[in-house]
Amino acid sequence: MANMTASALQAFLDGHFPASGIEVLSAGGMRAEIMLPVGKQHLRPGGSVSGPVMMTLADTAMYMAILAELGPVAMAVTSSLNINFLRRPDPVDMFARAELFKLGKRLAMGEVKIFSRGSDDMVAHATCTYSIPPV
Domain residue ranges of the chain, discontinuous segments joined by +: 6-131
* Fold of the domain spanning 6-131: Thiol Ester Dehydrase; Chain A (3.10.129)
Quote the pLDDT of residue 39.
87
Residues of the chain with pLDDT under 70: 1-2, 74, 135
pTM of the model: 0.93
Quote the pLDDT of residue 41.
87
Ramachandran class of 25: left when φ > 0, alpha when ψ lies in -120 to 50, beta otherwise: alpha
Q: For residue 28, what are the contacts with CB-CB under 8 A and spacing of at least 6? A: 3, 5, 6, 68
How far, in Å, CA of 26 to CA of 5, rounded?
Answer: 8
Quote the pLDDT of residue 1.
46
β-strand partners of 26: 33
Quote the pLDDT of residue 2.
56
